[in-house]
Amino acid sequence: HHSGALFMFTTSGGGGSMSPLVLVCTITIYALVLSQCCIVLNVYVRPGLLRLLLMIPLILLHLTLPPVMVDRNENVITLAIMSALISWWCSFKLIAFAWDRGAITQAIRLKYPTIAIAMLLVLPVTPVFQQRDVEDTRSKNSQKTSSQATVTSYAWRFITKVALLLATVHAITAYQLPDIVAHFLMAWGLYALLGGLMDGLSCVCLLVDGRVKLVPHFDQPYLSESLEIFWAKRWNRFAAGQLRSIVFDPLIDNCAVAPPDANDRVARFRRRQRAGLFRVAVATICTFAMSGIMHELVFYHLTGAISSGAGWFLFFSLNGVLVLVERAMWSRTAWYTNLPSYVRVAFTLALEVYVAELFFFKPVIQAGLDVAVIESVKETTASFVLV
């Protein structure tokens, strides 16, 4: 029943993709050049408005680049990856750097920062930097062992998520499932797709530069006991961190440029307490709304139009409202917090799937993106099997 939507999707545009090798080489060279630009700017331009203005031409380039590099008719997953990596996350990292926030600001203090910054610009990783640039052989050996162990763990995560993705694709295509069940499986497939992508790229990051340890991207979101925990601590923590750096924290700090103790968790917590409930509520709504805007940009790159009824924007914006309602209700309702954890998990996931059913999955199906993604997964799997 999706054939008409798929026809609409595949005839909506595109002008030819770069080959994978050319795409990777182009992104690598661009990241290295951009890394050097950040290093130079850090020396000569103070954080603030001027540094941001110098970044704007690059950000505008990023917003339009993915559809030029990847034809949406050829591989929708590759285009989605490029849209998220370049248009959204790389742009956000540059804005954060302009305000002396985020990972680039920390990486630039490393002994040899060029490669580390280049990877941070184009890879979806959340680093925790270590003071390991010491000329001690024993320290280097232990660092190498630790890095290898971490690469192995990320490799296993990648493998398990690929297996989960293939299983969900098989279940959706092989059986006639009720819509609510199919959409629940799509949510699992989305988790597997995003998690597998990020875990695989994390392996690349750790193999190239072992000086950083990485925060896991997903922390068992299916165990979330509240919407706030789901979005802030368990689902796509990398994207949450990017949004926090350039939307939530500046609104809480009442200043775009980071304060000296911006990376101090205790200081951040105290500033949030001093900000008051109204400012925290505004910052929360703006953060979710910005997430909705960037998801609409990805949808536009994939289909040539925003989602039907701005559904993706509404989905994330509504989640911001629900987080505030939840925060207000549960702080005054002791009986809910006393419920067994499995009851709170079931309620949280059911509510999230219901809201996604209304606003997230409907535009996906209408645009034929579900079929396009499934076909892309099948083609990619077949190509690996043939190899």
Q: Which tens digit of pLDDT belongs to each residue from 230-259?
A: 999 999 889 999 999 999 999 998 889 888
22-31, 130-139, 179-188: least confident range: 130-139
d(CA 137, CA 104): 27
- Predicted confidence at residue 146, as pLDDT, reads 43
C-beta of residue 193 within 8 angstroms of C-beta of residue 370: no
Q: How confident is the model at residue 71 (pLDDT cuts 50, 70, 90)?
A: confident
Mean pLDDT for all residues in the chain = 84
Q: How confident is the model at residue 135 (pLDDT cuts 50, 70, 90)?
A: very low
Neighbours of 157 (CB within 10 A): 20
Is pLDDT above 70 for 134? no
Q: Which residue has the higher pLDDT, 159 or 135?
A: 159
Is pLDDT above 90 for 21? no
- Predicted confidence at residue 386, as pLDDT, reads 46
Amino acid at 281: A
- Predicted confidence at residue 331, as pLDDT, reads 65
Average pLDDT over residues 278-302: 95
Is pLDDT above 90 for 381? no
Q: What separation in angstroms does the CA of 357 have from each of 80, 112, 295?
A: 21, 47, 16
- Predicted confidence at residue 36, as pLDDT, reads 94
Distance of CA 287 to the CA centre of its chain: 14
Q: How confident is the model at residue 1 (pLDDT cuts 50, 70, 90)?
A: very low
Residues with Cβ within 8 Å of 136's Cβ and at least 6 positions away in sequence, in order, are none
- Predicted confidence at residue 140, as pLDDT, reads 43
Residues with Cβ within 8 Å of 39's Cβ and at least 6 positions away in sequence, in order, are 108, 113, 114, 117
Q: How confident is the model at residue 137 (pLDDT cuts 50, 70, 90)?
A: very low
Q: How confident is the model at residue 33 (pLDDT cuts 50, 70, 90)?
A: very high
d(CA 215, CA 201): 13
Q: Give pLDDT tens digits for 189-238.
A: 999 999 988 888 888 888 877 666 788 888 889 999 999 999 999 998 89
52-56, 137-141, 214-218, 325-329: least confident range: 137-141
- Predicted confidence at residue 59, as pLDDT, reads 94
Is pLDDT above 50 for 283? yes
- Predicted confidence at residue 176, as pLDDT, reads 87
Q: How many CA within 13 A on the CB side of residue 255? A: 11
- Predicted confidence at residue 143, as pLDDT, reads 44
- Predicted confidence at residue 332, as pLDDT, reads 67
Residue linked to tokens 């941001």? 52
- Predicted confidence at residue 262, as pLDDT, reads 73
Q: Which residue has the higher pLDDT, 142 or 276?
A: 276
Q: How confident is the model at residue 315 (pLDDT cuts 50, 70, 90)?
A: very high
Q: How confident is the model at residue 327 (pLDDT cuts 50, 70, 90)?
A: confident
Query: If residue 169 lies in a helix (H) or strand (E), which one and from where to where?
Result: helix 137-174
Average pLDDT over residues 360-387: 81
Q: Give pLDDT tens digits for 338-359.
A: 788 889 999 999 999 899 988 9
d(CA 137, CA 134): 9
